[in-house]
Structure 1
Amino acid sequence: MDFKTFAVSSGCGLIFGLAAEKGQAYLPSVIRNQMTFSQYTMLKLFLPAVATSCGVFSLLAFIPSTRRYFHSVRKAFYDSLAFQSVGKTLLGGAILGTGMTLSGSCPGMIFVQLGTGTQHAVYTFAGCILGAVLYGMIHSSLQSTCKKKQDDDEPSPLSIAGNFVDRILSVRYVSVALPFMALLATVSILVDILFPEKINLSGLQRNGIPLLSQATWNPLLCGVCIGILQLPLAISVKDSIGGSSSYCTLVAKAVSTTTKQAGNGAFAYFKSYTNDWWQVVYVGSAALGGAASSLLSGTWGSVEGVSPLTGFIGGACLLFGARLASGCTSGHGISGTGLLHGFSLLALCSMFGGAIATAVTMKAILPS
């Protein structure tokens, strides 16, 4: 990894961590409350992030001198789904969604939780590592199944989902992305008007840097900040926002250090991630960004987390589901949806479907 990639990855990670902390979308209670529709902070950050991603990608696609970056990002994303199927996408998304509600986190946000000293976040992180390892152990058999499906002379009627929406419609990307961006922006503003934040902002500003010392920002603004990160990542890294692949890189490094079996058998899946370090730098910097933001506002270590066991199980579901779906809430949810990929749209629906179903079930069977 060259210095430019390191600098851009770390800078973007710092901003992501800062925006997630200020927008309060990293709070386990906020993530869980979103799934029961009792609080809309997460949605207020997520929708603007996707809308801004659409805007950034549209800009890159429209300007002739930057079009090559847009195509590079799209190719990288398309290639990452080479062995994906509708079934894996839907099932993986649902498992990931279950993990979101259980852990009150997602693969990218867990690093912000670690940085902010969120209670029991380390257990969720440990579960994520386990989930990545478990998926790596079954990956080869799943991949061979997908190969057989791809070689079949009779294409699946749902194979159309494995492409970009604009290609399916035979139109330019901006022709779909810009109206989609406008729709998401409109919904974001309406949600903010109809469901104003319940957080009391009085007394939450400390002496120091005026903006950074505030405990909370408007989540709409924070979502825009996250979406803008697509621009430097596309130009410098030729990739888009994501989080779950970083766990595979960490596991790959651990495996290559501790055993001679790296790249063989159950560990073969991790071989391709051995040198893919930009995302590790990104999420590590997100932890630092979250830590700096919470320290400046005096909120470090004040967030209550889920129980250790629930966090661990939820973390395992997060990463197992994310790798099964070949993307997480950042990869599929923000980047893939912004790029208008069919699998990402399916994954997004199944993620929130699984998360909402789990939240409703927990609310029904657990004491208040």
Structure 2
Amino acid sequence: MAAAVVSGAAFGAALMAAGFHNPALVIEQLKFENWHMLQAFLAATATSGLIYAVAERVGYVKLQPRSSSPLGLFAKYDGNIVGGALLGVGMALSGSCPGTLYPQLAAGVRTGFYALAGAGVGGILWTGFLSKAAKKQREDAGVKPEAGVVSEALGLSKATTLLLLEAACLAVIALTTVYTPRNTNTMLPGATGGLLIGLAQLVSVLTRRSMVGISGSYEEMGHVFWWLVGGAAPGARPASYQNMLFASGVAAGAWGLLRAVPALAAAPAVEVPPPLAVAGGVLMVVGSRMAGGCTSGHGISGISLLSASSLITIATTFAVGGLVAPLVY
């Protein structure tokens, strides 16, 4: 219990330090006007990959790659594609993702409160109806999740594939840094913020022997809701509260760092219209649960484990979000 809160607090503090209390970072990234988010994302992923490689090598932890989320509609990874697309639309509408809305709450950004309300609704819809429909579709189609890794698809060793991932991350960070002006909305450069997020990943690996991921907290919220209103099976109780404890830690960590360093949120934050924030919150949670993870679970953690499903999910998220954001803003 304490480990979940501590690792969540480290993650929340890192997100706040990286400037993710401001919805503008998400919106401008999806409009390809500001590369701060991508730089932080890639730096965090690259750092996480190295941290996990060392932890696995010394025998401290061994984690399985993220499994696919098939629906049996049109492709092996169709659930990752559909879920990633919904996640991308939700991020574009809300200027948030399942993790960054907590720094928004800590900074008093109203968008975060509306996005959280939508995320809660998304968790309720997913646990009450949509997860059952997805499960039935898989059973009818006779498909099951599979744990594929990028190294196998490329015919390379894990070590070689990790080196290629590290090189690609560094190359994109360097290229976007050269062609992107200094971001005046944040105190730290994107890559520096990403390194801090990577250090939060280290805290998670050391304390919980697992990696960060937050969208599961909304699913747990949904289970709690249905249990409280009597919509669950008689006598059923939520199976776990670990993800909710982690999310609580994220909010506390972001709030605590902001109290210690108020200048982190000194620049005015962009506010998203409430209907868009709520709708985005619903879509990003439904999408992330359909895909089996969000920008933290699939992105920072899953890609660092060389999970094929994570790479497909996140590529779809940014591609679709990049199409929608310019149309909305």
Q: Same fold (TM over 0.5)?
A: yes
- 1:77-92 paired onto structure 2 within 5 Å: 77-78=66-67, 81=69, 85-92=76-83
1:106 and 2:97 equivalent?
Answer: yes
- Partners of 2:324 and 2:179 lie apart in 1 by 25
CA offset at residue 26 of structure 1? 3.3
Aligned to 2:305: 339
Aligned to 1:199: 184
**So what's the TM-score if we normalise by structure 1?**
0.80
1:115 and 2:106 equivalent?
Answer: yes
Aligned partner of 1:216 among 170, 187, 194:
187
Residue deviations 1:94-120, cap 9 Å, x none? Answer: 111011011000001111211121123
Aligned to 1:256: 227
1:74 is aligned with what amino acid?
Q
- Partners of 1:307 and 1:296 lie apart in 2 by 29
Q: Which moved more, 1:47-56 or 1:289-298?
A: 289-298
Q: Which moved more, 1:223-232 or 1:102-111?
A: 223-232
1:308 and 2:300 equivalent?
Answer: no
1:277 and 2:262 equivalent?
Answer: no
- 1:23-42 paired onto structure 2 within 5 Å: 23-42=18-37
- Partners of 1:225 and 1:294 lie apart in 2 by 15
Aligned to 2:173: 188
2:319 is aligned with what amino acid?
G
Q: Which structure 2 segments of 5+ residues have no match? A: none
SS in 1 for 2:21: coil
CA offset at residue 239 of structure 1? 2.3
Report sequence identity in percent. 25
**So what's the TM-score if we normalise by structure 2?**
0.88
Contact 2:117 / 2:278 at 8 angstroms: preserved in 1?
yes
Aligned to 2:286: 320
- 1:131-210 paired onto structure 2 within 5 Å: 131-136=122-127, 137-150=129-142, 162-169=147-154, 171-199=156-184
Residue deviations 1:175-213, cap 9 Å, x none? Answer: 21122112212321332232132317xxxxxxxxxxxxx
Contact 1:51 / 1:181 at 8 angstroms: preserved in 2?
yes
- Partners of 2:46 and 2:254 lie apart in 1 by 23
CA offset at residue 223 of structure 1? 0.6
Q: Which structure 1 segments of 5+ residues have no match? A: 153-158, 201-214, 265-270, 364-368
- Partners of 1:162 and 1:50 lie apart in 2 by 19
- 1:46-85 paired onto structure 2 within 5 Å: 46-63=41-58, 65-66=59-60, 69-70=61-62, 73-74=63-64, 77-78=66-67, 81=69, 85=76
Aligned partner of 1:296 among 246, 260, 267:
260
Contact 2:70 / 2:143 at 8 angstroms: preserved in 1?
no
- Partners of 2:21 and 2:155 lie apart in 1 by 38
Q: Which moved more, 1:300-309 or 1:89-98?
A: 300-309
Contact 1:117 / 1:291 at 8 angstroms: preserved in 2?
no
**Distance of aligned partners of 1:226 and 1:198 in 2 relative to their CA distance in 1, 3 Å threshold:** closer
CA offset at residue 252 of structure 1? 1.6
- Partners of 1:311 and 1:248 lie apart in 2 by 19
- Partners of 1:263 and 1:278 lie apart in 2 by 21
The CA RMSD over aligned residues, in Å, is 2.7
